[in-house]
Chains A and B, each alone.
Chain A
């Protein structure tokens, strides 16, 4: 009996060893270990053995069975790995072939600048305010300390709907509306389209975009204005950006300033964009004129504030190197998709 088992074992091991694929291996397994397999049959036939032999033979068969199973498993793993290796070799693809994807659209460069600016000021606790583009002259002018005889009100500069209704020539009327409707503290920026009677050319457009900022609270100082704008300039144009204030005049601020930033193209060395100056005129700003506060129902003895405003197109053009403003409004997708 023992010899018979040893023979089976030897044959089985040989057949396992010589099986060339998983299928043959499975046949070997069935042949020896299946329900009617040779080894199984020996176990079944144990009843005919002497009782004292049974445990010896039983354990011997089980030993052989375990060994064969292990061997088969080993070979199976080998064949599986072989199969994976085959796949890896056969399933090679050309990864440089074109992809299947949606073409992306684009955000207009003006919107991109506006979004950047919004992001920065929201981070500093500002809200985004909005107002009508067809605006009452009183908000566009009177409440901003620009009385009826002021040159800014000329028909050469401003579009009129009626004597009292204009297309806003600046985003500042939004300031006046917010001041009237809200109690300080006020911290807003108002981006939007503005209208001036300029013919279209490479640097002018009758419609352009402005972003206006306004802060009203107790003890707001001009140094706060400079600090705020410096922070804005660094975030918007790069950490190395310097800011410079120059005296200027606007009817709605006093003191007023023009703010220059160190040229973000050449870093201040002088180039074509900054006309060799090293500085680029960025915006107009100042402390809100006490008259404006009064006209909008805020007590200038209690509150002070600052305001600033700049043209989005100019920044977009400088930042993206766009040399003709008309490109921004022609909306050629070959231009748009670059952004």
Chain B
């Protein structure tokens, strides 16, 4: 909301610098975004009169002029402008003048002829062409002939470009401050000066209620959406331009002038915060206005020449046949004020904000009116506004008021009664403000305080309970005076939970191991899944959480797997030609398990640690080691690594699931070459997906010290030849099964292939270490176990023992 100091001054005496005022208002809740000094960047531009225009000897499109700039100074100025004639009064930028945008004008030669300045267009003066409807965009600004008497005067003064304009950020709870009146009231209380209330006479007007006015009748069939509708009429209307003072004020708020009647509606909206609508009474068929819900497929052409489709959720103002306005949003072309209009109806109505907001969004039209209505306006203010509009119409000679009003007011404004709880307010704020000080502040804000009951004024519907009162008290006590105390309450322990701790330990480990943490979006599209070889009726696709209103087609799903995102980030780095890239990501995946969403429940979210590596130096086993270390850090010792051949994102020969209990807690492996191809990465990519929630579930509960045994270990080596396709994991399982608790360690120390062994064979050698905690093992015991192990290896794996 823009407001000029000049206009605000009508409500409160402002005797301080704009910057100071801005700071004060910001600290009382009307945040000043910018302070604009109109014409601040214009210097040395004066009023001049064109005395003669002669052709330019060297140019067809330039002319040479003589301009009187006052004080007997005549300047020769060369220009290419086409819209000037001798005798015109125009703005002249003299030698050494400055124009908006940092432009400097200096004397120079144009095609060999001296030019001692420049004639200015509206745009060159930094003005909005819309505010000067009688000017043209690509020509010199032609001033009114009577300004001839002001030759040589500063153009800013002549055009009234001397205003200081504040731009306020008004919070949505304060629609009353979307008006000069509301802001003026805030200024008065903030500066602690009297509120001058120049509209006092409006309150005192007594306009009789009528059933019909000049034959016009009004009916509201949707009182849930239209709380009040008031109509007043002005006759003998002469449509024409508004007086300068009104245009200037409209402009200061960023609103352009159109004609006197439309300008009045805008002026009242800016002054009082109540949007108004004016229409020609003759455009109302049947002279009967109905405020009703639109019919299905009803259409209206709005004032901006656009056809709008309506539906039953929208409120319209209609005559007996058709809608003439979308309530609270925009009027219809069919009832527009025209130059021939003689009788004008001023409408001042209040609608349910939520409905106006939705309608405005649905038709794609957020107007000054709708943005006020959507915040919830006061029905009490509507009457003041319409009376003010009629008063203005008479004051500027736009027409003659018809006595009486039609006032349909089915849904009365609620009045809040709030107890003044001084102690509670002080406790809530941590202050020690006296009752009297609170009452003083509230009364300045026009709240009635009687018998410790507060009644807020009609324009403060946002004040409903004690907390709201506390805020009002604090605003003028001063947010900056609020003390800083520390909570004086029961001590709480605080801290991280198990999952948070495990996550921290793991990230630290990964960083120390040379991996960089990344941060990613939760979005994906089916295209990304397809790039990762996930298509058709894959679970990931079936369980994906779909966004109804995605930002773009790249972001249609919440990611059901973290692999595509990791692949993309590796691909980014590959494109940047980064070598040896090792990344990790801790983020969520989202899975719509068992149609949760369809049943109104939330999808499953799991915290996933994803590792992605491309590097000449690393292979599957580096990754496996990394993941084993992670699990060890999390306190998981018993894991089962199983080959996984069905996961389509991975290389079927180089992928494993890591199981703990019944759960797969991690999948590790090399990306399927299809993926690396699709992402344009020429190296092998290592991937791991580790479910942090599950790690936390299985992570260690307690740590207990095991005494270091005094008894010696017995070591035995075993070497065997077996088929290439037998996994060493199988050997280890057999060793473990047979040796049970006395096995301390089984370490693979050699594996080799040779022609001598034969094709498809390999030799594997293990070093085994046995030990008992409570006594020395005998050779016989160890020999016996070794025998059992060998027998089992021969039997189950067809291993051939090497001697």
Q: Residues on A close to B: CB < 8 A?
A: 102-108, 110-111, 118, 121-128, 132-136, 148-151, 154-156, 159-162, 164-165, 167, 185, 187, 193, 195, 197-199, 206-207, 215, 217-224, 226-228, 230-231, 243-249, 254-257, 287, 289-290, 304, 328-334, 336-337
Does B413 interact with chain A (Cβ within 8 Å)?
no
Q: Which of A126, A162, A245 is the one whose CB lies under 8 Å from B480?
A: A245
Residues of the A chain whose Cβ atoms lie less than 8 Å from the Cβ of B582: 105
Residues of the A chain whose Cβ atoms lie less than 8 Å from the Cβ of B510: 105
Q: Which of B174, B487, B517, B547 is the one whose CB lies under 8 Å from A220?
A: B487
Complex CA gap A162/B515 in Å reads 38
Q: Which of A162, A165, A249 is the one whose CB lies under 8 Å from B172?
A: A249
Query: CB distance A221 to B430 under 8 Å?
Result: yes
Complex CA gap A295/B514 in Å reads 48
Does B791 interact with chain A (Cβ within 8 Å)?
no
Does B522 interact with chain A (Cβ within 8 Å)?
yes
Complex CA gap A195/B517 in Å reads 21
With contacts A222-B428, A223-B482 taken as known, whether A334 is within 8 angstroms of B603 at the C-beta atoms is no
Query: CB distance B512 to A104 under 8 Å?
Result: yes
Query: CB distance A106 to B572 under 8 Å?
Result: no
Query: CB distance B490 to A105 under 8 Å?
Result: no
Query: CB distance A257 to B430 under 8 Å?
Result: no
Residues of the A chain whose Cβ atoms lie less than 8 Å from the Cβ of B521: 206-207, 329
Residues of the A chain whose Cβ atoms lie less than 8 Å from the Cβ of B470: 254-255, 287
Q: Which of B427, B482, B489 is the one whose CB lies under 8 Å from A245?
A: B482
Residues of the B chain whose Cβ atoms lie less than 8 Å from the Cβ of A228: 486-487
Residues of the B chain whose Cβ atoms lie less than 8 Å from the Cβ of A136: 602
Query: CB distance A221 to B428 under 8 Å?
Result: yes
With contacts A134-B558, A218-B489, A333-B581 taken as known, whether A287 is within 8 angstroms of B512 at the C-beta atoms is no
Query: CB distance A126 to B494 under 8 Å?
Result: yes
26 residue pairs A–B, Cβ–Cβ below 8 Å: A105-B512, A127-B492, A127-B497, A128-B500, A133-B558, A149-B357, A155-B548, A161-B545, A165-B602, A198-B551, A217-B487, A217-B490, A219-B427, A220-B489, A224-B485, A224-B487, A224-B488, A247-B474, A249-B172, A256-B471, A331-B516, A331-B518, A331-B569, A333-B573, A333-B578, A336-B516
Query: CB distance B605 to A133 under 8 Å?
Result: yes
Does B227 interact with chain A (Cβ within 8 Å)?
no
Query: CB distance A226 to B484 under 8 Å?
Result: yes
Complex CA gap A104/B517 in Å reads 11
Residues of the A chain whose Cβ atoms lie less than 8 Å from the Cβ of B483: 223, 226-227
Query: CB distance A122 to B495 under 8 Å?
Result: yes
Residues of the A chain whose Cβ atoms lie less than 8 Å from the Cβ of B428: 221-222, 287, 304
With contacts A331-B518, A331-B583 taken as known, whether A127 is within 8 angstroms of B495 at the C-beta atoms is yes
Query: CB distance A246 to B31 under 8 Å?
Result: yes
What is the chain B residue whose CB lies nearest that of A122?
B494
Complex CA gap A254/B173 in Å reads 11
Complex CA gap A101/B172 in Å reads 58
**Size class of the contact patch on chain B:** 35 or more
Residues of the B chain whose Cβ atoms lie less than 8 Å from the Cβ of A206: 521, 523, 551, 555
Does B520 interact with chain A (Cβ within 8 Å)?
yes
Complex CA gap A218/B487 in Å reads 10
Q: Which of B374, B484, B555, B590 is the one whose CB lies under 8 Å from A223?
A: B484
Interchain nearest-CB distance for B254 vs A (Å)? 22
What is the chain B residue whose CB lies nearest that of A206?
B551
Complex CA gap A302/B217 in Å reads 54
Does B533 interact with chain A (Cβ within 8 Å)?
no
Interchain nearest-CB distance for B299 vs A (Å)? 24
Query: CB distance B487 to A161 under 8 Å?
Result: no
Residues of the A chain whose Cβ atoms lie less than 8 Å from the Cβ of B515: 105
With contacts A105-B517, A118-B496 taken as known, whether A231 is within 8 angstroms of B479 at the C-beta atoms is no
Residues of the B chain whose Cβ atoms lie less than 8 Å from the Cβ of A334: 576, 578
With contacts A107-B507, A185-B489, A230-B484 taken as known, whether A331 is within 8 angstroms of B572 at the C-beta atoms is yes
Per-residue A-contact encoding for B386-400, CB less than 8 Å = 1, 0 else? 000000000000000
Which of A151, A206, A243, A255 has most B Cβ within 10 Å? Answer: A255
Complex CA gap A103/B510 in Å reads 11
Residues of the A chain whose Cβ atoms lie less than 8 Å from the Cβ of B576: 332-334
Residues of the A chain whose Cβ atoms lie less than 8 Å from the Cβ of B584: 105
Q: Which of B516, B572, B578 is the one whose CB lies under 8 Å from A105?
A: B516
Complex CA gap A296/B321 in Å reads 49
What is the chain B residue whose CB lies nearest that of A217?
B489
Interchain nearest-CB distance for A292 vs B (Å)? 10
Within 8 A of A (CB), among B133-172: 171-172
Query: CB distance B475 to A247 under 8 Å?
Result: yes
Per-residue A-contact encoding for B341-370, CB less than 8 Å = 1, 0 else? 000000000000111011001000000000
Per-residue A-contact encoding for B247-272, CB less than 8 Å = 1, 0 else? 00000000000000000000000000
Interchain nearest-CB distance for A254 vs B (Å)? 4
Complex CA gap A195/B557 in Å reads 13
Q: Which of A125, A247, A254, A336 is the one whose CB lies under 8 Å from B27?
A: A247
Does B59 interact with chain A (Cβ within 8 Å)?
no
Which of B492, B522, B584, B600 has most A Cβ within 10 Å? Answer: B492
Complex CA gap A244/B27 in Å reads 10
Residues of the B chain whose Cβ atoms lie less than 8 Å from the Cβ of A150: 354
With contacts A222-B430, A249-B172 taken as known, whether A125 is within 8 angstroms of B605 at the C-beta atoms is no
Query: CB distance B519 to A134 under 8 Å?
Result: no
Residues of the A chain whose Cβ atoms lie less than 8 Å from the Cβ of B555: 206
Query: CB distance A155 to B29 under 8 Å?
Result: no
Provide the main secondary structure of the chain A interface: mixed
Query: CB distance B475 to A121 under 8 Å?
Result: no
Given contacts A206-B521, A331-B572, 19 further A-B contacts (CB under 8 A): A102-B514, A105-B512, A105-B516, A121-B494, A149-B354, A160-B549, A221-B429, A222-B428, A224-B430, A224-B488, A227-B485, A246-B479, A247-B475, A248-B31, A255-B470, A255-B471, A255-B475, A290-B465, A337-B516
Does B15 interact with chain A (Cβ within 8 Å)?
no
Does B546 interact with chain A (Cβ within 8 Å)?
yes
Complex CA gap A247/B496 in Å reads 33
Complex CA gap A219/B488 in Å reads 8
Query: CB distance B26 to A185 under 8 Å?
Result: no
What is the chain B residue whose CB lies nearest that of A155?
B549
What is the chain A residue whose CB lies nearest that of B169?
A248
What is the chain B residue whose CB lies nearest that of A123?
B494
Q: Which of A111, A159, A246, A337 is the one whose CB lies under 8 Å from B549?
A: A159
Query: CB distance B588 to A133 under 8 Å?
Result: yes
Q: Which of A124, A224, A328 is the one whose CB lies under 8 Å from B494?
A: A124
With contacts A197-B551, A221-B485, A223-B482 taken as known, whether A134 is within 8 angstroms of B545 at the C-beta atoms is yes
Query: CB distance A231 to B486 under 8 Å?
Result: yes
Residues of the A chain whose Cβ atoms lie less than 8 Å from the Cβ of B353: 149
The 9 tightest CB contacts between A and B, nearest first, are A223-B430, A149-B354, A221-B430, A247-B29, A255-B471, A249-B171, A227-B484, A331-B518, A254-B467
Does B76 interact with chain A (Cβ within 8 Å)?
no
Does B767 interact with chain A (Cβ within 8 Å)?
no
Interchain nearest-CB distance for B720 vs A (Å)? 36
Query: CB distance B545 to A108 under 8 Å?
Result: no
Which of B468, B516, B518, B600 has most A Cβ within 10 Å? Answer: B516
With contacts A126-B492, A165-B602, A185-B490 taken as known, whether A106 is within 8 angstroms of B517 at the C-beta atoms is yes
With contacts A128-B497, A222-B429, A256-B471 taken as known, whether A108 is within 8 angstroms of B171 at the C-beta atoms is no
Residues of the B chain whose Cβ atoms lie less than 8 Å from the Cβ of A126: 492, 494
With contacts A149-B357, A165-B597 taken as known, whether A108 is within 8 angstroms of B518 at the C-beta atoms is yes
Complex CA gap A228/B578 in Å reads 44
Interchain nearest-CB distance for B598 vs A (Å)? 8
Residues of the B chain whose Cβ atoms lie less than 8 Å from the Cβ of A224: 430, 485-488
With contacts A223-B483, A227-B483 taken as known, whether A104 is within 8 angstroms of B511 at the C-beta atoms is yes
Complex CA gap A287/B516 in Å reads 39
Complex CA gap A102/B29 in Å reads 55
What is the chain A residue whose CB lies nearest that of B467?
A254
Residues of the A chain whose Cβ atoms lie less than 8 Å from the Cβ of B361: 154, 156
Per-residue A-contact encoding for B276-292, CB less than 8 Å = 1, 0 else? 00000000000000000
Complex CA gap A161/B172 in Å reads 27
